[in-house]
Each structure stands twice: as structure tokens, then as C-alpha cells.
Amino acid sequence: MIELVEIESNDSYWGDVFKQQKALLESIMKDEIESVYHIGSTAIPGIHAKPIVDILVVVKDIERVDAYDPTFRENGYEPNGEHGIPRRRFFDRRRSQNDSSSTIHVHTFQIGSPNVERHINFRDYLLAHPYEAKKYEALKLELAQTFRDDRLAYTDGKSEFIRSIEEKALRWRASH
């Protein structure tokens, strides 16, 4: 099934979705959670994004997260294990059972994972540097038009820019 790349103008409901899902995630994993963050493009006001809310959950012990898979399923999430990133647990929520498009991605990492810092630095850097956020938006809009029916090519097309922002964000964070 082809998964089209859809980009939408920033919508305030994304923040509401994050707040609702944060409360749900905290109720599911209770004492295991250290913190929960809204990450990704939907966390950056004023830029277009795929309508997928990315949530970063930091837990005390990543190995204990698998025990919550049945509860995640009961709440509409599909557990996907590491999903290509070692020591991560990834969950996604679909629009409906018959729709392959995700609406929410939950990235779960253990405290101290470099991926936690990487995601937060990226988000915070774009929030602090609107010009860079607009450059990212322009790239995403161009790629979405070029690769409308090729999600992998769209994602690959962003990789170099994302790496450059991650490097800038690391230096920026170190200087603050």
C-alpha cells in the first residue's frame, strides 16, 4: 500500500493531541516514566508538518516497556519493538484499522540514551532559530511535492539537513 506524504499547515490541535496522549501514556506506564516530550515538526509552531504527533517518552528501564504492549494495544497503539533503532520501543497509532497512515508516534528511550538529547536538542534549536525552522519547512514542502507517493525518498531527502541541524543543535546546547 502506498503511503502518501501529506504536509499540513501547523495546527494548534497537535498540542492538544500531545497533552491528551501524554496523560494516557502516563496512566499506562505510571511509575516507569521519567518524562514526556512533544518532539518533531508538530512541536514547532509556524511550520508545516506531516500530521503525525511525535512523542518522546523517557523511561527508567527500557526492558520493562515491553510488558505494557497489551495495554498499548487496548488503547489503539501498535507496539513495533525497536523499529530500527537499538534500545528504543516504538508505538504508533493509526487513523483507523483500515488506514495505514499514523497519527501518533511514540518513541521510548531509557534515561541517558543519546537519542533523548538528540531529539530534544533538535526541537529546541528549531524553536530558538525560526529561520532554520523555515528552511526545514521549505525543504519538507519541496520533498513532499517531489516524492508525494514515496515516503522513504521523502525521509531520505531530509536526512542531510537533519544531521546538519543536529550538529548545530549540539554546539548550541553546549554554549548555553
Tens-place pLDDT, residues 102-151: 699 999 999 999 999 999 999 999 999 999 999 999 999 999 999 999 99
Mean pLDDT for the stretch of residues 33-62: 96
| CA–CA gap between residue 71 and residue 92 (Å, rounded) | 13
Domain with residue 110: its CATH number is 3.30.460.10
Residue 155's domain comprises 13-174
* pLDDT one-digit tens code per residue, 52-66: 999 999 999 999 999
Cell of 22: 501524554
The size of the chain, in residues, is 176
Q: Which residue carries 549540539 as its cell?
A: 170
Per the prediction, the chain carries an average pLDDT of: 94
Number of domains making up the chain: 1
Question: Which pLDDT score is estimated for 3?
Answer: 74
Q: Report strand pairing: 99-110 vs 53-59.
A: parallel
Decide if 3 is inside a domain: no
Residue partners of 31: CB distance under 8 A and separation at least 6? 60
Question: Which pLDDT score is estimated for 16?
Answer: 93
| CA–CA gap between residue 143 and residue 94 (Å, rounded) | 23
Decide if 1 is inside a domain: no
Decide if 2 is inside a domain: no
DSSP 32: G
Decide if 65 is inside a domain: yes
Question: Which pLDDT score is estimated for 10?
Answer: 86
